[in-house]
A and B are shown apart, each in its own frame.
Chain A
């Protein structure tokens, strides 16, 4: 399957600061990228869907001003957690896919801890 990377793999930041997480598709051009969040011992919850060159579509209950998603190229999407708070501490996972196809290729995830 296709390879998707995330950077950083883990990050600790102070409350009130912003953190950027990168998601890259390494061997294919992803027209669509998805961002998920997983709290401990819970399911993966879809946060938003982003298509290259257009604004992200956020799921209900996800604050778009807090979780800024940029998908400027076919190989890179970024998630910026703005003014992070301890309750934003979670495991963030991205996936990449092609428009019109079901397959998504998942990254290894990023552990965010906000102190």
Chain B
């Protein structure tokens, strides 16, 4: 079963606008969440993370929101830039194992 899901396989956004990528999880033991950006045939690049004791974390153009009751997190990118075009993965971890369970990915395309 897929414990971490990204229900939108793709998303297109105009340059300068906000990109919102969503992620849902089922395991209530997850207590740390991350977002990664990935290009084909490359390793993932860390973007931002959030602990379950917070509901928001911000780093420059990237903000992650966590709604624990809904088991949902989202990544906001504003303003979106063409260089943001890539596949974005959310990942979840728990204090027992520190393993990452990755979501299914969302391909973001930012149109110039």
Binding partners A and B: yes
Q: Is the CB of B44 within 8 A of A44?
A: yes
Interface size range of chain B in the complex: 20 to 34
Main DSSP-derived SS at the A contact region: strand
Residues of A within 8 A of B (CB): 1, 4, 6, 32, 34, 36, 42-46, 49, 91, 93, 95, 97, 99-102, 104, 106-109, 111
Question: Residue of A at shortest CB range from B49?
Answer: A102
State the Cβ distance, B78 to closest chain A Cβ, in Å: 24
Q: Does B83 contact A (CB under 8 A)?
A: no
Q: Does B32 contact A (CB under 8 A)?
A: yes
Give chain B residues whose Cβ lies under 8 Å from the Cβ of A36: 102
State the Cβ distance, B77 to closest chain A Cβ, in Å: 20
Contact of B43 among A97, A99, A101, A108 (CB under 8 A): A108
Q: Does B42 contact A (CB under 8 A)?
A: yes
Q: Is the CB of B32 within 8 A of A108?
A: no
Interchain residue pairs A-B with the least CB separation, the first 6: A106-B43, A44-B102, A108-B43, A102-B32, A43-B102, A109-B43
